[in-house]
Structures are given as C-alpha cells and as structure tokens.
Chain A
C-alpha cells in the first residue's frame, strides 16, 4: 500500500496506457494491487476521462477539434473527409486497426484552425492535402 498523498492515480493510468496503448482489465487490476485503491474506483477513474481508453485503439489516434473556433473554420468538413478516406465512422477504429478517428473538445490551437491531435501531437492549419500527406506518412495502405 502506498501513502495516500503519493498515489497519483491519473499519472499511473496514463503511464500504463502509454505502454500498452489502452487500459486492459489486467492493467487496471495491477494498478489497484500496487496502490491499494479499490478496482471499482480505478475503473471509475479510467472511464471518466476521454483520453483514457479501456478498449483497444488503432495504431494511430486522430482527434479532430470540433469546438467553435475550429468548427467555423471547416473542421467538420475534415471529419467527413477523414471518414470517407479511412472508410470509418467517427468514434470507431478502421478494420486494419491502423486508425481510430474521433472528435475532441478544444485543444487550444484556436490560433491555427482547423486543428487536431495525432497521437497526442497537435497538427494545425489543416487542409485536405495536409491530411492526405499525414495519413500516407502514418502508413496508410495505398488505395487502388
């Protein structure tokens, strides 16, 4: 058991997710055992935050900002473009598990809209061309 003040649960969950790509039941149980925090609470915290995932994600996670500053600069058009390009619905992962596509609340890149996070890194002033190049770089299979 660790001292209450030293159990920073959120950092532990983030670390585990970084290692495995998501928070499996096993990871959550391990954290519970290590910290003495009941599994119910660990699970409760893991499912509260939108950047923590208890289900497997794609190799690349795309989060497009859908808040007003990006929205009035065409970010939703880009979401539709990505849905078409990746053949996946928002909130889902592609069949080849290469990409997860989702919308996100403001990421603070309002001075360079539209913006998104790709695997946690911000990409700004997005255009369809830029997105195409990024997808290619991420190892998207060439379409016939």
Chain B
C-alpha cells in the first residue's frame, strides 16, 4: 500500500531544503487534496496560512474520525504513524509554527500512548523544536468540523461557528491555523519524497454486510462492484451508504468518484462504504442514522437541534406502523428544511440519508406506514 511506505524523515529534510514556497509549489504540482471529505487543495490552505500575518501560527491535525463506517485514520495511526508525524513537522516548518495539536477522538484514546512514543522518537531524531500536543476528545461527532475542533481545544463547547474567517486566517486562539485530516498529513511526506506517488489512490473503508470488511487502497473511480466483490458479501447487497452523511443508493455497478456519486444525490466524502444486504430493512438503518444525528447535533442552531429529533420521531412512528402518508410528506419537507437552513455541514447533511432513502426505497417506508 502506498500509504504504508516509510519516509524516515527524508521528506522532512527535503522540505527543509525546498523552503516554504518550494514545498507549496511541489504540493501544487503533485495535486494533493484534503482527505477529510471536502477535497480542498492542500497547497492552497498552506499558502493562505503562510501568507497570513501573525506572531504565532498553529498546525492542527484532525484525528476526530467520527463518520460512521470510517476507520482509515485509525488504520494510519496504527500502521504508519511516523509518516503522519513527519507530515505535521513539515506543515509546521512551512508556516513557521512551533506548536502543533493532534485532536484524537475520545474513542481512540487507546491509541494515545503508542502515538506519543512515536512523536517522542521522531522529535528526537529530527531535532525539531516543534511541540506536538495530543488533545483527546470526549465523544462529539461535530468536533470533526474544523471550527468546532478549534472551540473544543480552546476549552469551549465544541460548537461550530460561521465561516469566514477560515482557520488559515483566524484559527486557534485567533491565530492562523492549518487544519488537516490524518490521511492528508500522512500523504504529505509521501507526495514530497516519492516520484511515483499517486494522488488518485484513496483509502476506502468498507463495512456492513460483507465478510471481508476493511481498508482497501484503490484508485478514485474504481467500480463499486469491484469494491463490494473484495468484501465478499454472503447475501445480495441491496444498498450502499456513504457513511451517514453521504446518503444511500441502490447497489449497482458504477464508478466511485465524487462526480458520479453526486449525480445520485449522494456524497462520497471520506470514501466510507457501508454495504447493506437484502435481509436488512432500510427503515431500520434510517432509524440508526437518525438516532445518531439526534444524539450528535450540537444544539447551536434550531433546524438541526429540533429537526433531527423530529426526523427520528417520524421514523419511529413509521416503524410502529402509526404513520400516515402525510407523515411521509412531512418527513420529506422537514428533511429539506433542515438541509437548507442549518448552520454547519452536520445539519446540512443530516437528512441526506432520509431524502435518498425516500427517493430510492420509498416502498420500504410506505409499506410499513
């Protein structure tokens, strides 16, 4: 696997020779894009942060991998933490930061000690003066959002705020901050060092009703049928979910690329695929996802705070066979309202699963209603 190649601080040394501008232009040439879900070009984010005027700047590694069905960052932290830490050091060097943070989700606390050992040994070997702190989260999905993570580290409730300003201009404690995902930062040394590094390779997290779930490194645009075949499902696969936020669609042979998935009104995000077989009810999955959002809504904006609970209640009503056709219409209307009026990405995508499930599997809702 490309992501498991060792870089042994060679990329760090090369980056030092290249200087900040050289690193940024190399990352631009290589085309490295963010792997947290938004695919924002890394060089751009770094250049904004480099050009922002401030007495202090920070690097923040987002290891708050909370999207259900996603475990690629955990895979990197367990199997190649050295390249991640090297990526953080390169980012710090480029923008001149002396302090970096890794926001590790609370559910991954068991990985902390191992990661700390790697940090210590790499700092010693690189003779870098950068201080890397691990801040362990405490169970809040919303803290994967870059402004919420900043609030959380600053010691507030982890609630997102309206952008702009974006973190490269005003981030941690109001200072310019690079916020990058684990997989992104782990790819930095790889992209800098290896001529044959391929930007198109993605880590797919495959889970659900397959007998071989796991992390598969495949090129973007790989056919869904190829991925599912690797997972060796026991029964016929009926639907796939792109995590919770990306929505669902009937299983069919198709290219897994942001554009092709978008056509289905879904979002590929962090390349998590949850396979659901014919023995499962889409309504039950919808209930599980709705419960997730009702629990994880941070409570700051009304559409998301109130709406996610009402969505869950309506689905419960359908499950109890007490719903009417009007309820199904209300469900759809409400889901659209929440999507259009919520403050952050959590609320805006919290109902994609309902809307796509109603579009593709309406009979499973109406039949039960």
| A19 interface contact, C-beta 8 A | no
A69 to B139, Cβ gap below 8 A?
Answer: no
| B158 interface contact, C-beta 8 A | yes
Q: How large is the interface on A (under 10, 10 to 19, 20 to 34, 35 or more residues)?
A: 35 or more
B209 to A72, Cβ gap below 8 A?
Answer: yes
Question: With the chains together, A14 CA to B139 CA distance in Å?
Answer: 11
**B-side contacts of A73, CB under 8 Å:** 208-209
Within 8 A of B (CB), among A60-76: 66-69, 71-73, 76
| B70 interface contact, C-beta 8 A | yes
Within 8 A of B (CB), among A85-101: none
**B-side contacts of A69, CB under 8 Å:** 68-69, 207-208, 213, 274
| B244 interface contact, C-beta 8 A | yes
List of 5 A-B pairs having minimum Cβ-Cβ separation, nearest first: A9-B155, A49-B138, A110-B207, A51-B139, A106-B68
As a 0/1 sequence over residues 107 to 118 of chain A, the CB contacts with chain B under 8 angstroms (1 = contact) are: 111111100010
**B-side contacts of A139, CB under 8 Å:** none
**B-side contacts of A13, CB under 8 Å:** 138
Within 8 A of A (CB), among B249-290: 274, 276-277, 280, 284-285, 288-289
As a 0/1 sequence over residues 136 to 177 of chain B, the CB contacts with chain A under 8 angstroms (1 = contact) are: 111111000000000011011111000000000000010000
B274 to A68, Cβ gap below 8 A?
Answer: yes
As a 0/1 sequence over residues 120 to 136 of chain B, the CB contacts with chain A under 8 angstroms (1 = contact) are: 00000000000001011
A8 to B241, Cβ gap below 8 A?
Answer: no
**B-side contacts of A72, CB under 8 Å:** 208-209, 274, 276-277, 280, 285
A105 to B71, Cβ gap below 8 A?
Answer: no
| A7 interface contact, C-beta 8 A | yes
| A144 interface contact, C-beta 8 A | no
Question: With the chains together, A79 CA to B291 CA distance in Å?
Answer: 15
Which one, A5, A8, A10, A113, contacts B138 given CB within 8 A?
A10
**A-side contacts of B158, CB under 8 Å:** 48-49
What are 18 A-B contacts defined by CB distance under 8 Å?
A: A5-B173, A10-B152, A10-B155, A48-B140, A49-B158, A51-B106, A66-B288, A67-B68, A68-B274, A69-B213, A72-B209, A103-B291, A107-B107, A108-B71, A108-B108, A110-B68, A110-B213, A112-B213
For residue B122, give the distance in angstroms from its CB to the closest CB of chain A: 22
For residue A114, give the distance in angstroms from its CB to the closest CB of chain B: 11
Q: If A10-B153, A10-B155, A108-B108 touch, does A68 touch B213 (CB 8 Å cutoff)?
A: no
